[in-house]
Structure 1
Amino acid sequence: MGGTEDSVGLKRIVFVTVGTTCFDALVKAVDTLEVKQELSRRGYTHLVIQMGRGTYVPTKSLGEDGSLAVDYFTFSSSIANHLSSASLVISHAGSGSIFETLRLSKPLIVVVNEDLMDNHQSELAEELAERKHLYCAHPQDLHQVIAGMDLESLLPYHPGDAKPVAKLINRFLGFPDD
C-alpha cells in the first residue's frame, strides 16, 4: 500500500448527523450545490446524511457523473459504523455526537443550530474549535468553512482531562475561574 494510491474505487465519505433532533437547516445546507461542489473538489466521493426528525428531504444522487454520491436515512440503531467509515463528519452540536467523533479521531465540523434557545451546545463546540479539535460553522457559512478548512491543523482530542470541561461548566454556572 505504499507509494501513490489509485483513487479508483476509493470511497471518501462525508457523514452528516443531526442526532435525534430536527435540524433541517443543516440538511438543507449540505444539500446545496455550493457545499456539494466544495466537498467534491476536496476529493470526497460520498455524502451520507442522517436527517433525524427533519422534514426536508435531500436530493439523492448516484454520483455516476463524477459528482458526489448522496444518500440519506432518518435513524439508525447505531451510527458507529457510519462514523468509523467517514473521512469527514459534519454534525449537530450534541455532545454525544461530538465526543464520539473525536474519540474516533475523525475530522469534524460542528454546525450550530441557531433555532435552539439557550444553546449551551454551541458553547461546547466553540470552545473545542478554539482548542483546534474541530471546526465550528453555522448553516449559512458551512461551504466557506469547508473551503477554508485545513484538516492537518486539527489537534487530537485526548479524553481524560476534565479540567477544561469543568472550567466551562463553572464559568456557565457563574463560578469564578481558578
Structure 2
Amino acid sequence: MMTIGAVDREKEKKAVFVTVGTTCFDALVKSVDSRHVRNELKKRGYTNLLIQMGRGSYIPRKSCGEDESLVVDYFTFSPSIADYMRSASLIISHAGSGSIFETLRLRKPLIVVVNEDLMDNHQSELAEELADRKHLFCASPQTLGQTIQTMDLDSLLPFQSGDGLPVAKLINKFLGFPAE
C-alpha cells in the first residue's frame, strides 16, 4: 500500500532518461556522471536519472544514501526503451536519428549530445539543423552541463512530422519499383 508521502514523492518525480542506443558513447555517460552535470540537473529540479549505457565500458555511479537528491541508476540494453522515454521529463540522447525522432514524436524536451569522435559525423548535421529550428538543444559531452544550465524549455517548438509518402514514391520510382 502506498502512503501519502510516497504519493507526494511520486508526483514530484522529475526524471531524466539518457540513451546512447546500441553504440559505445562513454564520453556522454561520463559527462552525465560528472558532478557538474548532476548538480545542474538537481538545480533544475530533476530527481531521477536513468542512463542507458549501451556497449560502453564506463560504469556510472549509482545514487547512494538517503540524502541523495538525485536518484541514479543505469542499464546496458532493454528490449524497448519506449516506456523510459514516455516517463521522462527530459531526454538526453546520442545523435542517432531514430532516438531523435522518437523523442520528438513524444514531444519530450531533448538534448542531443553529438559524438565528436565519430569520423564523417552526418548525425551532427541533423542535430544542429533541428536545434537551429528550435526543436531540441544540441551539446557536446564537454558542454552538456552548460546546456542544462542555460536551456529554456519554453523556447522549444513542437516538431511536426512530415508526410514521407512523396519521398518514398520518388525513391521507389528511382529504383524501378512499380507505382501503386
Shared fold (TM-score, shorter chain, > 0.5)? yes
Alpha-carbon distance between aligned partners in 2 of 1:64 and 1:161, rounded to the nearest angstrom: 49
Identity of aligned residues (%): 73
Alpha-carbon distance between aligned partners in 2 of 1:53 and 1:63, rounded to the nearest angstrom: 28
Q: CA, structure 1 residues 23+132, in 2 after alignment: closer, same or farther (shift >3 Å)? A: same
Query: What does 1:147-166 correspond to in 2, within 5 Å?
Result: 147-160=149-162
Instruction: Write the letter of the residue equivalent to 1:120.
Output: H
Deviation at 1:8, TM superposition (A): 3.3
SS of the aligned residue for 1:57 comes to coil
Instruction: Write the letter of the residue equivalent to 1:115.
Output: D
Alpha-carbon distance between aligned partners in 2 of 1:11 and 1:97, rounded to the nearest angstrom: 23
Which structure's CA Rg is the greater one? 2
Which sections of structure 1, spanning at least 5 residues, go unmatched?
A: 1-5, 166-178
Structure 1 ranges of 4+ moved more than 2 A: 6-9
Q: Could you list the per-position Cα deviations for residues 130-166 of structure 1 after superposition, in whole angstroms to 9, with x for gaps in the alignment?
A: 000000000001000000000000000010156xx9x
Alpha-carbon distance between aligned partners in 2 of 1:142 and 1:131, rounded to the nearest angstrom: 19
Is the contact between residue 90 and residue 111 of structure 1 (CA under 8 Å) also seen in structure 2?
A: yes
Give the TM-score of the pair, scaled to structure 1. 0.85
Aligned equivalent of 2:124: 122
Query: What does 1:1-178 correspond to in 2, within 5 Å?
Result: 8-9=9-10, 10-62=12-64, 64-160=66-162
Deviation at 1:66, TM superposition (A): 4.3
Give the TM-score of the pair, scaled to structure 2. 0.84
